[in-house]
Amino acid sequence: MFSIIARRSKSAIAPLARFNHTLPDLAFDYNELEPFISAEIMQLHHSKHHQTYITNLNVAEEKAVTAFEKKDLTTQISLQQVMKFNGGGHINHSIFWTNLAPVKNGGGELSDASLLQAINRDFGSLESFKTQFAAQTVAVQGSGWGWLGFNTATKKLEIATTFNQDPLLHLVPLLGVDVWEHAYYLQYKNVRPDYLKAIWNVVNWKNVAERYHKVA
């Protein structure tokens, strides 16, 4: 997460520490999710789209720091949208890359018994979960994400969608699937449902299970 640590100083404006976000490495090569997600998509998605969110986030955060120093509330507020969009983009994609794995590294295989049990309990079956997930995610109007999340209040799994780069807030994100057109268009064109069918083959269920066990 990004946070701002302020050190007060009476005389000069104190420099505020902040994190400089950097692009996380993928745990696999761009071509290793083929044929389900093309190398071209992975390269553009990671090195261009995600990088851009990070670059813009860093710029916005610097401006925000200055605005805090100057006690310029208007600017602080005016930066919120840019920070939400780019910060959310950074958060969401960082989760996404960990949610994917090549088939040879276990992509597509759900072997965690308690996660499977929870899915069966909350959705009826793994197949039913996938069907519901696809239905809700396909229906996202415009750009956004489909999520499997954990409701810490009810201790249940839920499907949710978010819009643009809004981060998932009301649930703990376990699995996110990007349905911005850039995530699939080069390969699947307008047929979002085909992308949503294919992606199950490279879902890193080990990671989803890890995230689940952290909160369940």
Interface with its own copies (CB under 8 A), residue from 15, 17, 48, 59: 48
Stretch that binds its own copies, among 21-29, 46-54, 99-107, 169-177 (CB under 8 A): 46-54
81 binds its own copies (CB under 8 A): yes
**Closest approach of Cβ 188 to its own copies, in Å?**
11
Nearer to its own copies, 126 or 138 (CB): 138
| Cβ count within 10 A of residue 96 | 19
Interface with its own copies (CB under 8 A), residue from 28, 30, 133, 180: 180
137 binds its own copies (CB under 8 A): no
Give ∠ CA 26-29-34 in degrees, rounded to 5: 115
CB 184 within 8 A of CB 192: yes
CB 101 within 8 A of CB 210: no
- Two structure tokens written together for 59: 């710029």
- Two structure tokens written together for 204: 């890193």
121 binds its own copies (CB under 8 A): no
Give ∠ CA 49-164-147 in degrees, rounded to 5: 95
What residue ranges bind its own copies (CB under 8 A)? 44, 48-49, 52, 81, 85, 141-144, 163-165, 180-182, 185-186, 189-190
